[in-house]
Structure 1
Amino acid sequence: MFWAALFDFFCIPFIVFISFMIILSAVNKSVGVRRAYVKLLLKIFEFGRLSIESAAKERQKLVGDTIFNNSQERKLDEINLSFCKKTGRTIPTTNGNTLISRDSVLLPTSNEPAASDIESPPKDEEMRFNLEKCLDYIKAGVESIIEDEVTSRFEAEELKSWNLLTRTNRHYEFISWKITLIWMTGFAVRYFILMPLRVFVCFVGVVWLTVCTAIVGYIKDGEYKRRMVDQVLGHCFSVLSSAISAVIYYHNVENRPTNGICVANHTSPIDVLVLMCDKTYSLIGQRHGGFLGLLQRALARASPHIWFERGEARDRHAVAERLKQHVSNPNNPPILIFPEGTCINNTSVMQFKKGSFEVGGVIYPVAIKYDPRFGDAFWNSSKYSMMQYLYMMMTSWAIVCDVWYLPPMYRQEGESAIDFANRVKSVIAKQGGLVDLVWDGQLKRMKPKKEWRELQQVEFAKRLKGD
């Protein structure tokens, strides 16, 4: 009797809820619960911010540092203003922190050194050594030690205010009894209500996706199958988005891709989920095992995708050829590509690989920007496994993001693939409010290229000679 009562109390409401959610997803309807939940969270975060600021002011009064801190801040502002007036340069800020404004020293300007830069060693009488010529390099090196422009893009984005998660801050939860009560309540809600529910929804969503794609896979190729795939994948990914309480805002939907190649900045594997909730895409990438491999095999049953083995993926010619074949078929969905090749923490856009821009045809840029207040969507694959990442997603408040569909872009006459890639990257960065960086995202896993070091050595030698 006890177990039957327990089943009735927990399992039946779960089953009813999931059935209701699947029905809503199938008819593409929403009752607005997640958006109302996000609005409530914003009010709680604002209350927490005000409480923390109030407690900080009280603490400053107790130690008598208020006047000193204000005078120091004014003095720092005066120094920054004087620096800007003298040099004509600005000191950009992000998340309330001052960033170092670097010159073009130590930036990768080319993949190969020019022939004119490689000269024979100068004669002794031609060498004019000036100590001041190396100061720019010393300055750039010290600045990189203080705040590295590259490796900081592979860490969680710093928040302006605390979001009641101890993974983003460890000393605010006990600042007052009100904040402590809210934090403890939030912890209980996230771990004992939301997390079990989200795990259950994720399990149901994966099973539902596997079953639906298997059934659709038996339908004969044609217009009817394409319509069925769009509907089935749309509501399957809508169910999966509930597992992370995703709230997605789509902008400029008139620019939504119809064919060709769609490129977007890359933050995490859920970028695919975010975009597939609104439009069906074909995917290209390396074959995986485990959870990702299960999803890859399920998707391949219903629609055309390009999956490579690890060794095959390194063959650029084979990749480009299969990509051209896919794009040349007007019946295929647009293929989704993340040209950065790795996940960046959603504060910047790093170097785009040129391969997808050499194929030709139309490029549809898409900018994705996550709101870090509700949860950090960035996946640091060198630090967390996929299961650890999913655990962090399911114990966050929610995943909230904006998606901008940008006008289609074409390669101009005489424009190289690298220049075209940089032009597309710049448009995405500007729309998403991201920093446009020239560095290769693979620096996350490997050392700088030998060619980059040689270029800087040549440049340094030229400065020492007084050129």
Structure 2
Amino acid sequence: MSSTAGKLVTSRSELNIEDYLPSGSSIEEPRGKLRLLDLIDISPTLTEAAGAIIDDSFTRCFKSNPPEPWNWNIYLFPLWCFGVVVRYCILFPLRCLTLAFGWFIFLSTFIPVHSLLKGQDKLRKNIERVLVEMICSFFVGSWTGVVKYHGPRPSIRPKQVYVANHTSMIDFIVLEQMTAFAVIMQKHPGWVGLLQSTILESVGCIWFNRSEAKDREIVARKLRDHVQGADNNPLLIFPEGTCVNNNYTVMFKKGAFELGCTVCPIAIKYNKIFVDAFWNSRKQSFTMHLLQLMTSWAVVCEVWYLEPQTIRPGETAIEFAERVRDMISLRAGLKKVPWDGYLKYSRPSSKHSERKQQSFAESLLARLEEK
């Protein structure tokens, strides 16, 4: 509500009822005051308020909560400055060298293997699988990643799909360093898109464009074909469809649960003690996100490979998805919210909200003037 409407409510929240009664009418003294709610129809107000509550419940799933500042006095500030020097002037250059060395080894091996072993698909796929796992390990090392894995390591077998909660694109890297998954992922521009269309396609990854409706049928067909292959890498899907801030889980898309195969849940939980691993793609490029991770002290994470699940008799795909989401949320300590994550891409702009607020303030003023 605008400041004008706020002042109006404050100044006119109580009015003398005699000013609004016909001549000759009277009323008992205890009712000699009329509240604002008696003057106007409040149903539009309640509708607006309910909408604001829903919007707040939704948007908090995609907000990064910065840590409270601890360098607030003369004793802690020099220590904080020392930490900045260590992270940016010592750790960051060493991590860049580590990542560059990893890329040198990877490319000097991957390019010859990919080019010269095209006639020996099985051998080529095995080598490429190991190389992708290796470069992902270098990426995790460039963040000083401390990752603890729980449960049996995923294996290659047909008719199974792995699903996980989604915080950042680094989820894929954290999981890929242990097992070369074939992931379904949004197609990205720039250098990330180049890696997708070259290196990651070698492990069977599937890309889609969220803005293209026809991609849904194509992707669905590719998923069904992939899970049938006995030698294909395990399929990994993030059914939330977007990055959530690792405090909540939004609705799971049912596509992964309609494939007629075993679903293996994976729960991922990041510890924010050193850095918040959430990637807000609307405010930060992935390059800047990686720089943020590489200039932090460490990325601390736990991964749980949970008990495989199959659809129960009479259970719908949506109910199956919710049951798996319950398992992941419980294991990772995440709160469930009943929102579709794709709403993140279609929320009204702040200008629209301001217009609604101004319109409400003007209607409130007009109602009071009529009375």
TM-score of the alignment, normalized to the shorter chain, above 0.5: yes
Give the distance between the partners of 1:251 and 1:410, measured in 2 at CA: 21
What is the Cα deviation at residue 252 of structure 1? 1.1
- Equivalent pair of 1:213/1:302 in contact (CA under 8 Å): no
Give the distance between the partners of 2:270 and 2:292, measured in 1 at CA: 15
| CA 440–309 in structure 1, closer or farther in 2 if over 3 Å, else same | closer
3-state SS, counterpart of residue 324 of structure 2: helix
What RMSD, in angstroms, separates the aligned Cα atoms of the two structures?
2.9
Alignment: residue pair count: 305
1:210 aligns with 2:107: yes
1:144 to 24, 39, 53: 53
1:320 is matched with which residue?
220
3-state SS, counterpart of residue 148 of structure 1: helix
- Equivalent pair of 1:154/1:344 in contact (CA under 8 Å): yes
| CA 308–209 in structure 1, closer or farther in 2 if over 3 Å, else same | farther
| CA 247–256 in structure 1, closer or farther in 2 if over 3 Å, else same | farther
| CA 169–261 in structure 1, closer or farther in 2 if over 3 Å, else same | same
3-state SS, counterpart of residue 199 of structure 1: helix
- Equivalent pair of 1:282/1:333 in contact (CA under 8 Å): yes
Give the distance between the partners of 1:394 and 1:313, measured in 2 at CA: 36
1:403 aligns with 2:312: no
1:189 aligns with 2:86: yes
1:243 aligns with 2:151: no
> Which blocks of at least 5 consecutive residues in structure 1 are unaligned?
1-130, 159-167, 449-467
- AA in 2 matched with 1:187: V
Matches within 5 A, 1:331-342: 331-342=231-242
| CA 213–136 in structure 1, closer or farther in 2 if over 3 Å, else same | farther
Question: Can you list the C-alpha shifts for 1:43-69, whole angstroms capped at 9, x where unaligned?
Answer: xxxxxxxxxxxxxxxxxxxxxxxxxxx
- Equivalent pair of 2:155/2:234 in contact (CA under 8 Å): no
TM-score, normalising length: structure 2: 0.74
Give the distance between the partners of 1:246 and 1:181, measured in 2 at CA: 26
2:334 to 424, 434, 438: 434
2:72 is matched with which residue?
174
- AA in 2 matched with 1:149: S
1:390 is matched with which residue?
290
Give the distance between the partners of 1:429 and 1:236, measured in 2 at CA: 30
2:197 to 282, 297, 308: 297
Larger Rg: 2
What is the Cα deviation at residue 312 of structure 1? 5.1
| CA 143–257 in structure 1, closer or farther in 2 if over 3 Å, else same | farther
Matches within 5 A, 1:108-123: none
2:128 to 229, 235, 256: 229
| CA 270–239 in structure 1, closer or farther in 2 if over 3 Å, else same | same
Matches within 5 A, 1:46-125: none
Give the distance between the partners of 1:380 and 1:333, measured in 2 at CA: 29
2:315 to 415, 425, 430: 415
Give the distance between the partners of 1:337 and 1:142, measured in 2 at CA: 31
Give the distance between the partners of 1:257 and 1:222, measured in 2 at CA: 16
What is the Cα deviation at residue 156 of structure 1? 1.2
- Equivalent pair of 1:367/1:432 in contact (CA under 8 Å): yes
What is the Cα deviation at residue 221 of structure 1? 4.5
Identity of aligned residues (%): 38
| CA 211–363 in structure 1, closer or farther in 2 if over 3 Å, else same | farther
Give the distance between the partners of 1:254 and 1:386, measured in 2 at CA: 28
Question: Can you list the C-alpha shifts for 1:276-327, whole angstroms capped at 9, x where unaligned?
Answer: 1111111222332322123213424632222345665643222111110111
Give the distance between the partners of 1:313 and 1:288, measured in 2 at CA: 17
Give the distance between the partners of 1:298 and 1:212, measured in 2 at CA: 14
TM-score, normalising length: structure 1: 0.60
- Equivalent pair of 1:255/1:407 in contact (CA under 8 Å): no
What is the Cα deviation at residue 413 of structure 1? 2.2
3-state SS, counterpart of residue 89 of structure 2: helix
> Which blocks of at least 5 consecutive residues in structure 2 are unaligned?
1-39, 349-371
What is the Cα deviation at residue 201 of structure 1? 2.5
- AA in 2 matched with 1:252: G
What is the Cα deviation at residue 414 of structure 1? 2.2
